[in-house]
């Protein structure tokens, strides 16, 4: 795994960071076909809406959620080294916790016995034409089914709510470090973590030890409401991989030469 560039530091987010976090998600998802279709039909990016700001604020206020930002502390040439200004945000990750509210620390980290069967792939509604609202309904339903599967009652786990790195900062180890923040906690606590990945992020999650356990796969052309892509090509198949990572338990002697 790449090491974090020396000018980038990870810190917990504050309320002042929320607009930059939303903007980071907006630009990071510009090349994502699912997002492009929704933005086209809805007439703009959800990330710039007041709903998005309210959602982020509710996450910041939630003690079961951690929001971590990667800040670029490099001093730009047009700034004086003594000037105080907020370091720009290069990326962020949002991590959720389940069943950590028990202060006795007695919730098991992994369910005993075999895992239940994975959720079925949802079927398409029978009415035609299908719309982006149908797409949102199916993706939300799928997420709810998998959340139930991944988070049995009384079992502790962590999950990635969201993770984005601004395109100009991608490929430099920042996304990996933002994921490592939560993964290290999982390893310390002996709990697994899971994520509903975007299609483009699959490799980034695999690089830190997640493996795919199921997927939602839909043809976006079925929901396009007659809208073409800007390049005239079809929207094509979109895949949402559901991924899980087991904790790495370090035994004494591990890591010795
Ligand atoms: C996914 C994302 C956060 C990764 O951030 P990043 O800073 O580019 O990631 P890193 O540079 O740390 O790379 C992490 C690993 O993923 C791999 N990787 C990242 N993007 C990749 C791609 N498109 N194709 C192949 N591998 C990729 C890297 O090679 C690296 O592996 P390595 O550590 O073995 O070298 C970033 O690409 C992004 O914001 N994507 C758009 C938003 C998105 O889809 N977010 C996920 C929501 S679930």
Q: Tens digits of per-residue pLDDT, 62-112? A: 999 999 999 999 877 777 777 767 789 999 999 999 999 866 656 667 766
Q: Let me know if residue 181 belongs to a domain.
A: yes
Closest protein CA for atom 19 of ligand 1: 204
Pocket test for ligand 1, best of 10, 175, 179, 200 (most atoms within 8 A of CB): 175
Q: Which domain holds residue 67?
A: 8-111+118-245
Gap between the Cα atoms of 155 and 152, Å rounded: 6
Q: Let me know if residue 199 belongs to a domain.
A: yes
Q: Let me know if residue 255 belongs to a domain.
A: no
Give me the count of residues in the chain.
Answer: 257
Q: Let me know if residue 250 belongs to a domain.
A: no
Q: Tens digits of per-residue pLDDT, 193-220? A: 999 999 999 999 999 999 999 999 999 9
CATH number for the domain that contains residue 217: 3.40.630.30
Q: Tens digits of per-residue pLDDT, 22-45? A: 999 999 999 999 999 999 999 999
Q: Let me know if residue 254 belongs to a domain.
A: no
Nearest to 140 by CA among 218, 88, 192: 218
Q: Let me know if residue 1 belongs to a domain.
A: no
Q: Let me know if residue 256 belongs to a domain.
A: no
Q: Which residues line ligand 1 (CB under 6 A)?
A: 1-2, 28-29, 163-165, 170-176, 195, 197-198, 200-201, 203-204, 207
Q: Let me know if residue 251 belongs to a domain.
A: no
Residue 230, pLDDT score: 82
Percent of the chain at pLDDT exceeding 70: 92
Residue 257, pLDDT score: 36
User: Phi/psi of residue 70, each to 5°?
Assistant: -100, 120
Closest protein CA for atom 23 of ligand 1: 200
Residue 169, pLDDT score: 97
| Number of domain units in the chain | 1
The 10 Å CB-count burial string (b at 16+, else e) for 182-215 is: bbebbbebebbbbbbbbbebbebbeebbbeeebb
Gap between the Cα atoms of 225 and 227, Å rounded: 6
**Ligand 1 nearest atom to the CA of residue 177, by list position:** 12
- Residue with the larger pLDDT of the pair 255 and 118: 118
Residue 104, pLDDT score: 62
């Amino acid at each position: 795994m790449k090491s974090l560039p020396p000018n980038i530091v990870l810190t917990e987010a504050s309320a002042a960071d929320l607009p930059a976090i939303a903007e980071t998600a907006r630009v990071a998802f510009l090349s994502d076909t699912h997002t492009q279709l929704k933005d086209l039909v809805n007439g703009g990016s959800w990330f710039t809406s007041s709903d998005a700001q309210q959602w982020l604020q509710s996450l910041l206020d939630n003690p079961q959620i951690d929001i971590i930002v990667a800040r670029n502390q490099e001093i730009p040439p047009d700034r004086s080294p003594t000037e105080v200004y907020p370091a720009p945000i290069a990326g962020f990750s949002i991590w959720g916790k389940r069943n950590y509210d028990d202060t006795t620390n007695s919730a098991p980290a992994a369910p005993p016995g075999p895992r239940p069967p994975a959720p079925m792939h949802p079927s398409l509604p029978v009415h035609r034409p299908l719309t982006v609202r149908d797409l949102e309904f199916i993706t939300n339903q799928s997420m709810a089914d998998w959340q139930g599967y991944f988070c049995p009652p009384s079992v502790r786990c962590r999950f990635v709510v969201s993770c984005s790195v601004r395109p100009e900062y991608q490929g430099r180890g920042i996304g990996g470090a933002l994921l490592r923040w939560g993964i290290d906690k999982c390893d310390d606590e002996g709990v697994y973590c899971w994520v509903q990945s975007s299609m483009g992020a699959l490799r980034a999650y695999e690089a830190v030890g997640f493996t795919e356990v199921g997927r939602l796969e839909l043809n976006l052309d079925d929901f396009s409401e007659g809208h073409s892509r800007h390049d005239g090509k079809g929207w094509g198949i979109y895949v949402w991989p559901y991924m899980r990572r087991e904790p790495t338990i370090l035994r004494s002697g591990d890591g010795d030469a």
